[in-house]
Amino acid sequence: MNITFPHLGNVYIVAKAFLEELGHEVVPPPVPSKKTLEIGIKLSPEMMCLPFKVCMGNYIESIENGADTILITGSCGPCRFGFYSNMQEYILKDLGYEVDMITLESPREGFNEFKENVGKLIGSNSIINIGRNIKPALDLIKQADDLTQLSNNIRAYAIDKTEVNSIMDKYYNQAMETYGIKQIVELIQDTEIKLKDVKINKDYQPIKIGIIGEIYTIIEPFVNLEVERKLGEMGVLVEKSLTPTAWFKHHVYSYPFGSKEEKKKFKLAKPYLETLVGGHGRETIGSAVHYKNIGYDGVIQILPLNCMPEIVAKSILKTVGEDLKFPILTLVVDEMTGEAGYMTRLEAFVDLITKRKEKYRVG
């Protein structure tokens, strides 16, 4: 089988390596672009959320590159993500694409289906081969996320920010050319050394901003218009509240109980929102409180237009910001989002936080 999956930030690095270790021919999803989005818009229902459209475009590009199987995770709860795979499979079949869709749902949603789908992925691999690769693959998720965060940290202090960007661009490109877990681990280690060699201003005191909101939007740079890089170039130290590592910890390692970190966020959100609203709406509220508690200067919520869970969170964040006297900016993205307006809002927010900090320092 020639397998692909949706592009989601750095996830392709880990997924590609793991699937290669299982002996699959992997067609890595192309980095989303305007062309991806244009294809996705044409094939998706108009009011569908942005991640659906980008994924659709991504699938077509991968199919044109030879993919015949698509791997996607499933979901339950009040959010459209639970319908993604069924709807996307239906649209693809209607267009005449004969692709197999492997949807990894939680075993709670049907153990036999889960077993069948895992079976397709495992194929004729021996238990020994799977066991040998699972731990390195799980470690790799963290290594890849740690490297992204290291680049965010160094970019904030770097004297020449473009140096960090070019190291990371090279890493992302080379990751497409590697094969298996060992090669990608070596590439990550090599990139880490290069990042640590970048000249920094050690006395600089960056403002710190947490990125919160809908998971796909905050992880995929094409959809969030490279928010981490843009803020880093302004000298801001930035961290995302949700990463592939956090998702795995919560949904896979700690299944069925959930991770300690996410449970802590539910607790922090509780005075404002007690129930599940789908997606990561509750985590968004908890993350805002968390970033305030750990001394961040503000948070930016990013959500796709029409994202119900995040619309609920957005309406509550106003109260959170007022209660905690904590700056919160909300950015809504869709296919019409223009870079210039987006940049202006980011700059104005950074400006506001900088002035606010100076005022408290003087006062």
Binding site for ligand SF4 (CB under 6 A): 49, 51, 79-81, 214, 216, 279, 304, 307-310
Closest contact distance (angstroms) between CB of 128 and ligand SF4 is 37
Q: How far is the CB of 140 from ligand SF4 (least distance, A)?
A: 25
CB of 209 to ligand SF4, least distance (A): 21
Q: How far is the CB of 49 from ligand SF4 (least distance, A)?
A: 3
Query: Cβ closer to ligand SF4: 81 or 326?
Result: 81
Distance (Å, whole) CA 351 – CA 347? 6
Residue 15 near residue 81, CB atoms below 8 Å = no
Q: Which is nearer to ligand SF4, 26 or 331 (CB)?
A: 331
Nearest partner of 100 among 59, 122, 71, judged by Cα: 71
Tokens of 40: 């996705």
Residues with Cβ within 8 Å of residue 320, at least 6 apart in sequence: 272, 285, 288, 289, 326, 328
Q: Rounded CA gap, 271 and 135, in Å?
A: 38
CB 154 within 8 A of CB 191: no
Please say which residue, 21 or 220, places its beta carbon nearer to ligand SF4.
220
54-60 contact pairs (CB < 8 A, 24+): 54/6, 54/7, 54/216, 54/220, 54/222, 54/223, 55/6, 55/84, 55/88, 56/88, 56/91, 57/32, 58/6, 58/7, 58/29, 58/30, 58/32, 59/4, 59/6, 59/29, 59/88, 59/92, 59/99, 60/97
Cα–Cα distance between 25 and 2 in angstroms, integer? 5
For the CB of residue 241, give the shortest distance to ligand SF4 in the complex, in Å.
14
Which of residues 60 and 307 has its CB atom nearest to ligand SF4 in the complex? 307
Closer residue to ligand SF4 (CB): 55 or 350: 55
Nearer to ligand SF4, 171 or 216 (CB): 216
Closest approach of Cβ 138 to ligand SF4, in Å?
24
- Residue 130 CB, shortest distance to ligand SF4, in Å, is 30
Distance from the first to the final alpha carbon of the chain: 65
Residue closer to ligand SF4 (CB basis): 80 or 155: 80
Q: Strand 69-73 vs strand 100-104: parallel, antiparallel, or unpaired?
A: parallel
Minimum Å gap between C-beta 83 and ligand SF4 is 9
Distance of alpha carbon 255 from alpha carbon 25, whole angstroms: 29
Q: How many CB atoms sit inside 10 A of residue 10's CB?
A: 22
Q: Which one, 17 or 218, has the nearer CB to ligand SF4?
A: 218
Least Cβ distance, residue 304 to ligand SF4 (angstroms): 4
Following CA atoms 289, 291, 295, 297 in sequence, which dihedral angle do they give, to the nearest 10 degrees? -100
Give which of 72, 69, 57 is closest to 26, Cα–Cα. Answer: 69
- Among 231, 187, 181, 194, which Cα is nearest to 211's? 231
Nearest residue (CB) to ligand SF4, 50 versus 164: 50
